[in-house]
Amino acid sequence: MHTKHTEQDASRLQAALAAADWPLLTRLCRQALRKNSRNLSAHRLLGFSLNKQREFDAALKAYRQAYVYWPEDAELLVNYANVLIEQARNIDALPLLEKVCELRPQQAIGWIKLAECCYLLTQHDKGFDASQKAAALAETLHDRVAALMQSAIHRRELGQVREAVKDCETAIALRYNDPGNYTNKLLFMLADPQVNAAQLSEAARQYGAVFEPPLRPEWPDFQEHRGSPWRRLKIGFLSPDFRVHSVMYFVEGLLVQLDRRQFEVFAFYLFPRDDHVTQRVQRHADHFVPLAGFSPQQQAEAIRAQGIDILIDLAGHTGNNGLLTLAHKAAPVQVSWLGFPATTGLTAVDYKFTDEITDPPGAETQYTEQLYRLPTLFACYRPMSRNPLWRYQPRYQVRPAPALANGFITFGSCNNLGKLTDEVLALWGQVLAAVPGSRLLIEGKNLDRPDFAQAYRERCERLGLPPAQVDLVALRNDNQYLTYHRIDIALDPFPLTGGTTTFDVLWMGLPIVSMVGESFKSRMGVGLLAYLGRTEWLAETPEDYVRIATDLAADVQALNTLRQGLRAEVEASALMREDIFNHHFAEGLRVMWLQWLARAEHPGEPEAQAQAIQDWLPQLPEAWTQPPVPGVGLKPGQRVSLHEAHQRLQGLVDKAKAAPPPTPATGTDASEGPALKDRHWIAVTELAETVLSAVPNDPVALACLAEVEHAHGHTEFAVTYLRHATQAMGLGSGSAA
């Protein structure tokens, strides 16, 4: 009798699974487990069905309980690990997948998932080895393609760029309709100096040609969006990178201060995990919408349901991107910006934000998008995205050129090692030879591993870099900005130049030598230095590059003077003027909208479209010609003016002063200031940080932080904040020392 019931339970579970009836499957699994707490099928399927219903915490709880009963069941472990990876909890998935590979060493799937797990953990040697085992064992087309994808992503991180591209091409030949292999191929082609802009553009167009045509017949006409040309528009930003990520150095200032009279701001988030930066984005945006784990079609439908007028993609062909969502045409106007320095290849993307220097005249042929060239740099930098208050702390202020104390010049690079090709390193060897006694500091991943570092030194020596003059420094995120205290002159790689790293370098007071290139990916240094007014650091030829580096190194006193003034120069330039950038970006959005509206009203009539726009321009609301009032997002959905935030801050300071004096702080961490215990002063600190993440250098918030430090007897930090507050009010000059 018992066996009969068990068979009935099993057949019901399988029927619910086959029907993809996840609520029913969940119910049946729970019933089966009440009868028999060790029912293996029910344990395997309960977490699976909960995950399908996006009940992620419940799914993980179910798998944890199942693991207690069945720690040796490979199928259960793979499914458990898969959910962990989907939630970006790779560190928890790793031991499970290592166990799977022990239990079933001859099955490719375990090795494929192990390789996938290793990527976010930066265990690239281990991941690559697992991918090769998977490739040798793969019996199905699915497993062969998956093994190639994992091989490619780890090869790229290990510096095998061309081999990585070949893996992607082999995978595409096996299965042409897997978008991940196209995206990886494009991302890896960026780093290959033998790939030119035309080849990159053609590869992106191939991606578009495969994935767009089947979706195009379903594109909406968006007629319901037509109306007043000056109505308030809904602007969506689509990104997997609203978290600790380089994209946030350029997006945060725009999200928080884009003119709310004209625009309502939505942040559509594509990554499964939040962090403290995500929490700031949730405050900055008017609406925050998580979309991770949904299909591209579901994501597009969710965006349309919000009535988005203009959708801005921040990822391009990078990890966890939303390009297939854009291919479904989620909004009437779709724009590419920031994440990927080349075309998406999609005709569904209407525009790309850029500038006239980084994308010079003639660059149009490299893009499927129409270029919208801003009259300022294509992006605006805000330092210290990970910890906004560190911007004001003593250890991050510009220090004297290290050559003054060292007696020799230190050149340096803190870029991704994949950008440091043989051609780059060989030219840097010529720079060292031209400057007697000089050294080269290279910071990068895995340089703390003796075997990796030794192989890198040998490579440098083969390319003409004497090992005795090369310092290899392991990349540590908490060391960002501090390594620049050890470098006198930065060297930019080519043809894939530095991006965020170059902004970091300049803000820390270092001049940088950069090579002029032919397309956006190789002209980021050109754009930055042109808008900074430092074109004398741009090289047209390798000989030029060596000459500029040599000239900068020739006079250490002049180099130090330059270093001491460069931060103020950068902060006053287009590189960091958020008010200028946000104004021009808003103007660009409105122009795009007027053009869409004109085309919708006069299809196929360019002259009538142009006339319509001319007729609308005089109707521009007068108020919009004045700068918007800065706002502060206090919490999701609650935005106040800067003036109101100041009033709240002052009220909190008054309350804190009226309370009994706090106990002097002990055990201070020099990187973070004193540990606070008094709830009144903690409230002041939290609101001041919220204000400064909305309006950097706000003097009122800085003065309030000085009050906090003073109340806790931490004079150095109090003086530092007051110095910044004074400078922000225009009463000081130069950068704080």
Between CA 585 and CA 570 the distance in angstroms is: 20
* Nearest alpha carbon to residue 284 among 241, 251, 310, 238: 251
Residue by residue, DSSP assigns 346-403 as -TT--EEEEETTTS-TTGGGG-SSEEEEESS-S----S-SS-GGGGGSGGGS----TH
Segments in the chain below pLDDT 70: 1-6, 663-676, 731-737
Query: How high is the pLDDT of residue 732?
Result: 45
Give the C-alpha distances (Å, rounded to integers) separating 301 from 23, 91, 220, 465, 479: 23, 33, 11, 55, 42
pTM, two decimals, is 0.91
What confidence score (pLDDT) does residue 276 get? 96
**Closest CA relative to residue 311, chosen from 334, 295, 280, 283:** 334
pLDDT digit string (tens) for 328-351? Answer: 999 999 999 999 999 999 999 999
pLDDT tens per residue across span 613-662: 999 999 999 999 999 999 999 999 999 999 999 999 999 999 999 988 87
What secondary structure letter does DSSP report for 286?
A: S
Report how far residue 348's alpha carbon sits from residue 326's, in angstroms, rounded to the nearest whole number.
6
Pairing label, strands 333-336, 512-515: unpaired
- Domains of the chain and any CATH numbers: 2-211 (1.25.40.10), 222-374 (3.40.50.11380), 395-572 (3.40.50.2000), 633-728 (1.25.40)
> What local confidence, expressed as pLDDT, does residue 666 receive?
54
At 4 the pLDDT is 57
Specify the DSSP element, H or E, that contains 239: strand 233-239
| CA-wise closest residue to 381 among 254, 218, 530, 533 | 254
At residue 644, what is the residue type?
E
pLDDT tens track for 409-447: 999 999 988 889 889 999 999 999 999 999 999 999 889
Q: What SS3 state is found at 489?
A: strand
In this prediction, residue 1 carries a pLDDT of 43
Q: Which 3-state string (H, E, C) describes 502-551?
A: HHHHHHCCCCEEEECCCCHHHHHHHHHHHHHCCHHHEECCHHHHHHHHHH
Exposure of 296 in the CB half-sphere (CA atoms within 13 A): 14
Would strands 233-239 and 351-355 be described as parallel, antiparallel, or unpaired?
Answer: unpaired
pLDDT of amino acid 270: 98
Cα–Cα distance for residue pair 321/180, rounded to 1 Å: 10
